[in-house]
Structure 1
Amino acid sequence: MQAVFIQQTGGPTEIQLGELAMPYVASHDVLIKVKAVAVNHVDTFIRGGSFKTQLTFPFIIGRDAVGTVIETGSAVDQFKKGDLVWTNSMGYAGRQGVTSEYAAVPVARVYKVPTAVDPLKLVAAVHSAATATILLADVLQARTGATILVEGAAGHVGRKLVQLAHDMGLTVITTSSQCDFASLTELGSAAPYDYHEDFAAELAAKYPQGIDHIIDTSGQVALQTNLDLLAQHGTVAVITAPATDQFSFQVRDFYTTDKNIRGFVISHATLSQLQHAAQTLNHEFSQGRLLEDKLAVNAFAYAATAHQLLATTSMKEKIVLVPTADEIDPDFMV
Structure 2
Amino acid sequence: MKAVVITTPGGPEVLKLKEVDDPEVGDSEVLIKVDAAGVNRADTVQRKGLYPPPAGASPYPGLECSGTVIAVGQSVDRWKVGDEVCALLSGGGYAEKVAVSAGQVLPVPKGISLSYAASFPEVACTVWSTVFMTSHLTSGETFLIHGGSSGIGTFAIQIAKYYGVRVFVTAGSEEKLVTCKNLGADVGINYKTEDFAARVKEETGGKGVDVILDIIGGPYFQRNLDSLSLDGRLFIIGFQGGPITEVNLSGVLARRLTIQGSGLRTRTPENKAVIVAEVEKKVWPAIEAGNVKPVVYKTLPLSEAAEAHRIMESSAHIGKILLIP
Q: Which TM-score applies when normalising by structure 2?
A: 0.85
Identify the match of residue 265 of structure 1 among 257, 263, 266. Answer: 263
Structure 1 stretch displaced more, 264-273 or 162-171:
264-273
Matched with 2:107 is: 112
Q: Summarize the Cα distance change of 1:277–1:85 in structure 2 as closer, same or farther, 3 Å threshold.
A: same
How many residue pairs align between the two structures? 318
Identify the match of residue 183 of structure 2 among 175, 182, 187. Answer: 187
Matched with 2:90 is: 90
TM-fit CA distance, 1:66: 0.8
Q: Which runs of 5+ in 2 are unaligned?
A: none
Task: Give me the identity figure in percent.
Answer: 27
TM-fit CA distance, 1:35: 0.9
Structure 1 stretch displaced more, 22-31 or 274-283:
274-283
Question: Which aligned pairs between 1:1-334 and structure 2 lie closer than 5 A?
Answer: 1-6=1-6, 9-54=9-54, 59-91=59-91, 97-176=92-171, 177-180=173-176, 183-195=179-191, 196-205=193-202, 206-217=204-215, 222-269=220-267, 270-271=271-272, 272-316=274-318, 318-323=320-325
**Code of the aligned partner of 2:43:** D
TM-fit CA distance, 1:183: 4.4
Instruction: Deviation per CA, 1:59-118: give whole Å up to 9, x if none.
Output: 222121111112222222212221101112231xxxxx1322222222111111123311
Find the aligned partners of 1:280 and 1:70 in 2 and give their Cα distance. 28
Structure 1 stretch displaced more, 282-291 or 224-233:
282-291
Find the aligned partners of 2:234 and 2:58 in 1 and give their Cα distance. 39
TM-fit CA distance, 1:218: 5.0
Structure 1 stretch displaced more, 247-256 or 41-50:
247-256
Find the aligned partners of 2:7 and 2:169 in 1 and give their Cα distance. 42
Q: Secondary structure at the match of 1:148?
A: strand
| Contact 1:154/1:180 (8 A) holds in 2 | yes
Find the aligned partners of 1:268 and 1:278 in 2 and give their Cα distance. 21
TM-fit CA distance, 1:242: 5.0
Find the aligned partners of 1:125 and 1:204 in 2 and give their Cα distance. 32
Q: Secondary structure at the match of 2:31?
A: strand
TM-fit CA distance, 1:181: 5.1
Structure 1 stretch displaced more, 26-35 or 235-244:
235-244
Instruction: Deviation per CA, 1:247-273: give whole Å up to 9, x if none.
Output: 322123333432122223322453112
TM-fit CA distance, 1:172: 2.2
Q: Summarize the Cα distance change of 1:259–1:308 in structure 2 as closer, same or farther, 3 Å threshold.
A: same
TM-fit CA distance, 1:7: 5.6
| Contact 1:8/1:57 (8 A) holds in 2 | no
Q: Secondary structure at the match of 1:139?
A: coil
Structure 1 stretch displaced more, 61-70 or 262-271:
262-271
| Contact 1:69/1:83 (8 A) holds in 2 | yes
**Code of the aligned partner of 1:201:** A
Structure 1 stretch displaced more, 180-189 or 130-139:
180-189
Instruction: Deviation per CA, 1:146-190: give whole Å up to 9, x if none.
Output: 222223323322222222122222222334444455543443333
| Contact 2:216/2:238 (8 A) holds in 1 | yes
Structure with larger Rg = 1
| Contact 2:228/2:257 (8 A) holds in 1 | yes
**Code of the aligned partner of 2:288:** S
Q: Which TM-score applies when normalising by structure 1?
A: 0.83
Q: Which runs of 5+ in 1 are unaligned?
A: 92-96, 324-334
Q: Summarize the Cα distance change of 1:135–1:320 in structure 2 as closer, same or farther, 3 Å threshold.
A: same
| Contact 2:28/2:102 (8 A) holds in 1 | yes
Q: Secondary structure at the match of 1:119?
A: coil
| Contact 1:150/1:215 (8 A) holds in 2 | yes
Find the aligned partners of 1:224 and 1:70 in 2 and give their Cα distance. 49
